[in-house]
Amino acid sequence: MRKQRNNIFYGADFVLILLYLTLVLIGLINIYSVSSTTANFDAFSLSSRFGTQLLWIVISIPIVIFVFFLEARLYERFATLSYLFILLVLAGLFVFGKNINGATSWYSFGAFNLQPSEIAKAITALVVAKIINESQFDLRKFKSQWKAFLIILIPALLIAFQPDPGSSLVYLAFFFVFYREGLPWNYIFFGLLAVILFFLTIAFGMVAILILSVVLMLLAGIYIRYIKLRKLNKFGLDLLAVLLFSTVFILSVDQIFNHALKQHHRDRFMIILGKTVDNQGIGYNTNQSVLTIGSGGFIGKGFMYGDRTRGKFVPEQDTDYIFSTIGEEWGFVGTTVIVILFTAFLLRIFFLAERQKNKFSRVYGYSVVSIFFLHYMINIGMVIGLIPTIGIPLPFFSGGGSSFLGFTILLFIFIKLDAHKVYEW
């Protein structure tokens, strides 16, 4: 036993680490290809995207060891403190931050830029796990619900005002966690209903969807009352609530869409719904990225042979749109392998989280999988033209040190907690 105790990596889940390393390696190879499109490409110079990415991977090694070195219980103990600290750091951006591409999301340290919002996700996950682990906390209670919502709302708002709405959207991932830990299902139900109605209303117009929802409700009512011959009272009330919600929401979508959102947000929705076609202006990114992926065909054009990647047709192809290069150079085979690898990666964390005996570890693990899932869903969904343009990175693939470090720390804290389960807590 002593020998095992001395090995800090003892108990770490090797399947998960192997999946992580595979994704990182493929990501690195891919960045090499994208990076080589720049003039005077020198792989191991810090002026190239590949060079910096490699450097961040090297830097992450001592950090991972450090994560393992810390005792597991410290993560719970210092969660609140680090949460307050990161809020301070996020707020400090408004004073000391460096503006890159219109968002003040960065601290600049000479050659390096750090994006605190990437680390904030892991810390928020820790503090969420901590409060849910508290004995009197119960998500079925209103007070607990608002406490939980507030914890994710503060960093989300701070990030949203940088402005980096994409990154703040990731905090929606915590609703999976809350639901798992007892949040009543109607929050999720109404949330999903709102998203669906929002899209449908923009796509087909207010009146049509209003009539459709009323008709559907009536049919549902008739079905329950006359066919299933159940008592209508309870369901009737629920139905009425849903109908009321839908009606008010549909009526307000118009207001939200036309007044609350900015023009470029409206454009992105319209493009995805096919209501506007503008492949040169606002729809350029999505159109080019879908064309680029499509041009790969079944087996792709081969490593370093993506002519559209060479020509840099897709903007941000080394960060948010990097998946397009995989589509072009590795084809359907490549993209499917990545999708399957990610699915395996997510499900592995999911099962490990469910396996935790300790509530803190379980909630944290669950937060980790939710955050990774949201990144995966939004990023690939956007690149293949299913979701409006929302700029968030694809874990381990998109170039960028802060996000790579953030994802690695997020993951390895969980691997540490998971490894620790063999010890007495």
Partner 1 sequence: MQRGLLLFYFIITVSSIFIFRLFYIQIVADEYRISPLNNSAVRVNYDYPERGYVFDRNGKLLAANQPSYDIMVIPREIKNLDTLELCNLIKIDKATFIKKIEKSRIYSPYLPSVFLSQITKDEYAYIQEKMYKFKGFYIESRSQREYTVNSAANVLGYISEVNDNLILENPYYQSGELIGAQGIEKQYEEILRGKKGMNFIQKDRFNREIGPYRDGIFDSLPEPGSDITLTIDIELQQYGEKLMKNKRGGIVAIDPKTGEILTLISMPTYNPNLMVGKERSKNSVKLFGDKYNMPMYDRSLLAQYPPGSPFKIVNALIGLQEGVITPETSFYCYHGYQYGSSAKAFMACHCGVVNFPIKLEMAIYKSCNAYFANTYKRTIDKYKIPSVGIDAWSKHLNSFGLGDFLGYDLPIGRKGHIPNAEYYNKNYKNGNWRSTATISNAIGQGEVLTTPIQLANLTAAIANKGFYFTPHILKKIKNIPYKAYNEKKITTIDSKYFDPIIEGMFQVFEIGTARYSRLEAIQMCGKTGTAENFKRINGRKVQYEDHSIFIAFAPKDNPKIAIAIFVENGGFGSAIAAPIASLMIEKYLTGEVLRTWMEQGMIDKSLEYQYQKQLFSLTSFEKATK
Question: Which residues contact partner 1 by CB under 8 A?
Answer: 176, 179-182, 188, 290-291, 293-298, 305, 307-308, 310-313, 327, 331-332, 335-336, 339-340, 342-343, 346-347, 350, 354, 366, 369-370, 373, 376-377, 380-381, 384-386
- Closest distance between partner 1 and the C-beta of residue 145, in Å? 15
- Closest distance between partner 1 and the C-beta of residue 332, in Å? 4
Residue nearer to partner 1 on the CB measure, 23 or 369 = 369
CA atoms within 13 A on the CB side of 218: 6
- Closest distance between partner 1 and the C-beta of residue 379, in Å? 11
Residue nearer to partner 1 on the CB measure, 164 or 328 = 328
Residue nearer to partner 1 on the CB measure, 12 or 337 = 337
Q: If 0-12 CB within 10 Å is exposed, 13-18 middle and 19+ buried, where does residue 409 land?
A: buried
Residue nearer to partner 1 on the CB measure, 82 or 285 = 285
- Closest distance between partner 1 and the C-beta of residue 104, in Å? 28
DSSP calls for 119-167: HHHHHHHHHHHHHHHSTT--TTSHHHHHHHHHHHHHHHHHHHTTT-HHH
- Closest distance between partner 1 and the C-beta of residue 173, in Å? 10
Residue 98's nearest CA partner among 83, 78, 113 is: 113
Query: What is the SS3 assignment for 377?
Result: helix
Residue nearer to partner 1 on the CB measure, 116 or 331 = 331
What's the CA gap between 383 and 389, in Å, rounded?
A: 8
Strands (E), 7-120: 98-100, 103-109, 112-114
Largest CA distance in the chain: 75
- Closest distance between partner 1 and the C-beta of residue 62, in Å? 32
- CA torsion sign for 349, 355, 357, 359 is positive
Residue nearer to partner 1 on the CB measure, 181 or 320 = 181
